[in-house]
Chain A
């Protein structure tokens, strides 16, 4: 099976939303990266979410947040901030949530401590720092490495990407899984990361070399799929991975309730632990290789048995975090939102340890990160990240217990007195009531911990709205969506914009109110998986829909629509869109070379075709074509200027000599001559070329009005083209050539023309602006300049607003009178232009048979299309290219509807005449 490529685009209303729209899947904390402005680490929290970020497309975003350090001005932080840690000291804090960076090996080194002395100053708000969008699906995990300079993200779009968040916004793709990638683990020592996903493979990647500056050369060093050996069972998707810093042990957790332990060096399974009763969603490995698992069992790798089972949570545990090298303190977050901290450090027996409820989230805790007993950040399905004050464990804890629900700032056992008063922002919320039964119930009965009060809670962002359900109206153009705040909105997926909002309404009511009675084939599929409208197009159906231009309600474009009012738009919505994007891509340069140019190029032949009514002329055609072809060949070689004069001469002679031939023959020839000359003169030394050009120009034009006008016509396209600053590539031209010939059933002559044109372009490019100038002059001088507008009009039809030759519209009428033959309109021109918001994301993705998810091949915005034109060219599916360049779509058998028309009963009207 071959893979198929899909095209989709994501519509967003605001360009600059930066919050997560949907749940957050992963967090990473960077405490070491130094803020260049302050010279101190301020703490960066990375978060990865399920949405694409605001701008447009991507699936996930990564965000970086800065921690707020109190004393430091946050000069370093770029943008927005949100709540951060509260009390921090001078050093730093880290509070950023979203994305992670890998931590480096020397962890302990200078790990900044939050200064407790300052801890009572008001917490500084965390700031939003950056957001990256590049994935097209949920980002499931993120990890920091290389001294936190590099961030690696794993996504449901099957890719593993590497970012240098401090350097650039564009990631490098490390590799692919064949299914969602669910989890990552990083071994600092050996410098690899392990990725695990639903394809039941664990892949190790060597990332040692991929320092920011050096590019990523050794990425694929280790590409080993361990999973094929034992992770074959269908239930063995990998949900979690963990390893120790030295990389000697890799542990995976799966829904099959088995923890498997691997030796990453040999890629063999060392052992496995059974005993869990549910999906294993989190594992931790201590530095020396002990591990904890979700329902929280503590296993000893050495003895391969379960040391302890913590039955603190009444619901399943979804996340674990520990920064303790031996995991003697760890945090656990469960499905019911409860986050607990368990500490048995310093205890002789684990059972002497304590457990405390740190906070209670509203939803299951997917990921949590804690710092220095100060703060805990949690991520849930909700789109916010919360920061909580951590609880201080141990000694103080006992006091709390004694006093039952004593309130004291969690952070400050040492400064108990100062806390609440001096920290206004954290007032009562900072106070922790430990109503939990405090102690951990180990092993034996499971106690329910009830927290009455949460510590402190900082909501991260104002929650941008994520779109949840959506309904496509019958017109297949408008989509009704409901977001998570209950707002109902109407979107137009052709214009790619939000039309209006209805406020909080019942979406079904709105739907029934505004839906129309229409039946239009479905041309796309729409989903909101990433929290924004994503429109998927596929080859088979995306050209199916069509609508009348006058009913489209498009703004302006009046010119166009006048012409087309009655004409059924052959195009589907899609076409418009693509075209649009195409134009957009052109943004000035390539635009011309694409649609508009091809129109122009093909235009002359069309005219030729129509004029070519007599058989007589065909001879000449042939001749000319031969000439032009041969000359073309010559010129195709390098700098074959010498051949130029003869050719021109020949053509001239042809033009001049057959006085007896009917005019009609002449006129077609002339343009050819013009064409041929044009290209040739251009390459020639400037002086000569100019002469040639003009002389040719003059002689035919004097011979007959028609000839000259046609010539002018041909020249104009030329001029138009040459005026544009673009630099067509050969490939493009060739494509156009193809287009040309195929579209028009081209005869030799046409092909010849085209080729000439191509070469002209090349040559002109070589020759730079000189010839161009001349062309311009010619154009100005030429009596038939009026043709230009016509061309223009054509291109306007195609919808290019920036067509270079658009100066005058007045001559259009004239034009028409001069040029009698009807123009063959190309389908490309049939749709009016539509303006698509520049931040609309466009994705080209590939779906391969063996994988369940799509991999993005290209992702850009409408805005960036012109820059990315080449990439798009390579990545776009054939059918898209076909459409963009040739303006062709696969024509489907028209759907026939039979009907009978007869007089209404009692209307006394006659039957329709037969036929």
Chain B
């Protein structure tokens, strides 16, 4: 697990489903934008 996904400044748990992300994190219409980065150890 070197990578993590971030959406709306929140790190997404690996098991979270897209629909959950959409409804609870993204919360708006349109495509969800997620970014990936190396896992931050501090978090």
Contacts and interface: CB of A to CB of B under 8 A. Distances in A.
Interface stretch (A202-210, A368-376, A531-539, A898-906): A898-906
B33 A519 contact: no
Nearest to B17: A519
Nearest to B25: A517
A810 interface: no
A903 B30 CA distance: 19
Contacts of A909: 36-38
A898 B17 CA distance: 13
Interface size class of B (residues with CB under 8 A): 20 to 34
Nearest to B24: A517
A892 to B, nearest CB: 13
A508 interface: no
A509 interface: no
Interface size class of A (residues with CB under 8 A): 20 to 34
19 contacts: A517-B20, A517-B24, A518-B24, A520-B19, A521-B19, A551-B15, A895-B19, A897-B19, A897-B32, A899-B33, A900-B34, A901-B35, A901-B36, A902-B33, A903-B35, A904-B6, A904-B37, A907-B35, A909-B38
A907 B22 contact: no
Nearest to B19: A519
Given A517-B24, A519-B24, A898-B31, A903 B17 contact: no
* Chain A interface helix/strand/loop/mixed: loop
B15 A900 contact: no
Interface string A261-287: 000000000000000000000000000
Interface string A878-904: 000000000000000001011111111
A902 B31 CA distance: 13
B28 interface: no
Contacts of B35: 901-905, 907
Contact of A900 (B6, B21, B32): B32
A895 B32 CA distance: 14
B33 to A, nearest CB: 5
Interface string A505-530: 00000000000011111000000000
A897 B37 contact: no
A519 B22 contact: yes
B23 interface: yes
A904 B43 CA distance: 16
Nearest to A475: B20
A567 to B, nearest CB: 15
Contacts of B23: 519
A518 B22 CA distance: 10
B24 A899 contact: no
A518 B36 contact: no
Contacts of A551: 15
A520 B22 CA distance: 11
Contacts of B31: 898-900
B24 to A, nearest CB: 5
Given A517-B24, A518-B20, A519-B22, A901 B15 contact: no
B30 to A, nearest CB: 7
A905 B22 CA distance: 21
B20 A903 contact: no
Contacts of A900: 31-34
Interface string B1-43: 0000110000000011111111110000011111111100000
Contacts of B30: 898
Given A898-B32, A904-B36, A907-B35, 18 more contacts: A517-B16, A518-B24, A519-B19, A519-B23, A551-B15, A897-B18, A897-B22, A898-B31, A899-B18, A899-B33, A899-B34, A900-B31, A900-B33, A901-B34, A901-B36, A902-B35, A906-B37, A907-B38
A478 to B, nearest CB: 16
Contacts of B34: 899-902
Contacts of A907: 35-38
A903 B19 contact: no
Contacts of A519: 17, 19-20, 22-24
B32 to A, nearest CB: 4
Q: Rank and list the top 6 A-B pairs by shortest CB-CB distance, nearest first.
A: A904-B37, A907-B37, A904-B35, A898-B31, A519-B23, A899-B32
A688 to B, nearest CB: 60
A105 B11 CA distance: 78
Contacts of B6: 904
A902 B32 CA distance: 11
A902 B21 CA distance: 16
A77 to B, nearest CB: 56
A551 B14 CA distance: 12
Contacts of A906: 37
A515 to B, nearest CB: 11
B43 to A, nearest CB: 13
A113 to B, nearest CB: 70
Nearest to A896: B18
Nearest to A521: B19
A548 to B, nearest CB: 8
- Report which residue of B5, B30, B37 has the largest number of chain A beta carbons within 10 angstroms of its beta carbon: B37
Given A518-B20, A519-B22, A903 B37 contact: yes
Contact of A903 (B16, B18, B24, B36): B36
Contacts of A521: 19
B41 to A, nearest CB: 14
Nearest to B4: A904
A904 B35 CA distance: 5
A517 B25 CA distance: 9
Contacts of A897: 18-19, 22, 32
Contacts of A904: 6, 35-37
A545 to B, nearest CB: 11
A615 B29 CA distance: 51
A519 B21 CA distance: 8
A909 B2 CA distance: 12
Nearest to A551: B15
Interface string A132-159: 0000000000000000000000000000
